Structure formats: structure tokens, C-alpha cells
Amino acid sequence: MAEQTRPANEGMPTRASEWLVALAEQPGNPDLRAQFDRWLAASEDRARDWKEIQHASTLLSSAAPKKPEWASFLNRRRAMEAARARRQRRRRLTGLVAVAAAACLLVFFQAGNLLLRMEADHLTATAEQRRVVLTDGTVALLGAESAIDEAYSRSERRLRLLKGEVFFEVAGNDRRPFSVEARDVVARDIGTAFEIRLGLHATEVAVREGIVDVARVAAAMPPQRLLAGEWARLAPDGGVERGRVPPDQVASWTQGQLVVNDRPVAEVVEALRPYFDGMIVLRGSRLAAEPLTGVYNLGDSLEALRAVARAQGASLHRISPWLVVISGD
């Protein structure tokens, strides 16, 4: 029987992610490099995809995972990829990224998370919301990836927001005032239901019911009094922005929605991060600053990110189940 010949390019990579793996496995193969150069020069789309893949791989090689369970997953993944390599040389991008990052990912995550756990009395995980009844009867609803420290005394009820966002329904007690510290901001309740959030560039307070006084912890500035439907955004540089919102839209995340009105894309993506179990990379300074208005479903964070990208004419690449890249320029 005559031996069947195979095309010279059979088994060669056809996508940017496959080329990344192949070149990493055989960095000194001149024939492979020549094949890659021809593939890359064939179209602008390929060049753009290659640039995206390289950037994503670089980011992930130094990034921390969001869950300690990744350690066992990465170990299993490496074993599976090693077995597959005996059958074929090419691996999927997710396998390469996992192997490259596995050595340092868990260490960074555990260090940061351990410090937070040592400080916090109550905290939540990715995509988790939790209702907590405090010792005075106040109800605290923690958003995803949020943490608070409870420091009650006989004379006052003081809490610290360590991370994320919390909506409070405060139990009345004139003899023990209620306050929440977040960064350099303190919100003092005067019988109310309100939200406080550690935003990307500012601390935000919004009132659904009642009255809240907002001030700097250590600055001689008069307090900002907020009524129902009012919000304030206090930046670290001393800037204060105020506005109004329908009271039922305050802490819209408690209803499973993110409602935004004329906010930068970077801020919207940051608000979606705690609901996505992985890394979100936002590329392009112009895209990050573009204003955005919309309602997004927190129960499907990936689709919410796709909606953000569509609204701005940006591209979204899901590099792996745990890595999404949104690119605008």
C-alpha cells in the first residue's frame, strides 16, 4: 500500500491562542517561526488577535486568582495537559496560562484575603450577597466581595466598611448614634436606610429613606446632609459631587440589578467585577472614560459585560472561563 502523504501545514496552529502555545513549547524551531510569520502577515485581524493574546497572557502570568480552589484546579489542569502533550504537542491557551501562573497565584491571593478575614466580622465572596442582623437589630446587606468590621460600644454603634458596598436598614436608638467609616469618610445615620460604597475613585453614599450626614473623618469640613433620593461622592482629594436618584434605585444591586446613569465605563466595569469569578481587563483609556447609562443583570455578569462592550462599540474577548478582555482602542 502506498504511503499517504500529508499536507505540509497539517497540524499547524490556526488561531492566535494556539500559536502562543506552540511557540512557547518550541521557541527554537525555525520552521515553526517561519510558519507563524506567514500566518501573522496574512491579515490585520490576525495581527490584532495576536496582540490581544500576548497582552492577556502577560497580565495573567502575574495576576492573583480570586478563589483558593484554583490551586487544586490548576494542579489538575497541569496533569491533564501533561498527559495530552504525550499525544499531541499543542495545548489550549487556558492550559498554558494555568501552568505559567500556578506557582505564584495562590500565594498572592491567600495573603490579601487572610488580612481581610482577620479584620472583618462579616464578609462575602464573589457573586454572593449576605443579609446580616447586627447586635442592635440593624440589618446590613453586604454586596458581593464586601467586608465590614463591627466596633460597637455602650455609647455608639460604629462600623468600618473594609471593602465593597453595604446597604443598611438602621435600628433606631437615640442614645447610641450609628455611623459607618469608609476610607476617610464617615456617614452618620439619623434614622434611615442608606448605602455606602467604596468606589473606584471615591466613597459613595446614597439614601433610600431618612437622613444621613456625610463628613470627612479628620477634616474641618461641614457635613453634607443627604435626604431620601440624594447621593454624594467624596474623592480622596477633597472633591465632593452630589446628585439625585429615584429612592428605589438606591442600592439597586439588592434587587439583582446594576443601574447606572452617565457613569464612566471603567466605573461600571469595576462595579461588575465582584460578580465575575475571574479577571476583567479593560483596555483603552478613551473607552474607560466614556459615559454609560443602562441597567445590567448581576445574575449574568458575563452578559452584562457584553452589553457594556456593545453599547460602546468595543470588542470583548473571552480568553478563558476566568479572563475577559474588553478593548476599545
DSSP notation for 154-180: SS-EEEEEEESEEEEEPPP-TTS-EEE
Among the residue ranges 97-106, 109-118, 131-140, 255-264, the one predicted with the least confidence is 97-106
Element (H, E) at 37: helix 30-41
Residue 233, strand partner residues: 204, 241
122-252 in CATH: which number? Answer: 2.60.120.1440
Element (H, E) at 202: none
Cell numbers linked to 264? 464612566
Residue type, 105: L
210-223 mean pLDDT: 86
Are the beta carbons of 246 and 231 closer than 8 angstroms?
Answer: no
> Cα-Cα-Cα-Cα dihedral of 297, 303, 306, 308, to 10°?
0
Looking at residue 84, its pLDDT comes to 54
pTM: 0.68
Intervals of CATH 3.55.50.30 along the chain:
256-327
Cell numbers linked to 165? 458596598
pLDDT in tens, 30-62: 888 888 888 888 887 788 777 767 666 555 544
> Phi then psi for 226, rounded to 5 degrees?
-115, 135
256-327 in CATH: which number? Answer: 3.55.50.30
284-300 mean pLDDT: 93
The band of 28, judged by pLDDT with boundaries at 50, 70 and 90, is confident
Q: Give the β-pairing of 157-163 and 178-182.
A: parallel
3-state secondary structure of 283: strand
Looking at residue 82, its pLDDT comes to 55
The band of 96, judged by pLDDT with boundaries at 50, 70 and 90, is very low
Looking at residue 102, its pLDDT comes to 41
Q: How many CA atoms lie within 13 A of 116 on its CB side?
A: 18
Looking at residue 270, its pLDDT comes to 95
Compare 118 and 284 and report the one with higher pLDDT.
284
* For the chain, percent of residues with pLDDT exceeding 90: 48
160-186 mean pLDDT: 92
Cell numbers linked to 84? 495530552
Element (H, E) at 104: helix 93-119
Are the beta carbons of 179 and 189 closer than 8 angstroms?
Answer: yes
Q: How many CA atoms lie within 13 A of 106 on its CB side?
A: 12
Intervals of CATH 2.60.120.1440 along the chain:
122-252
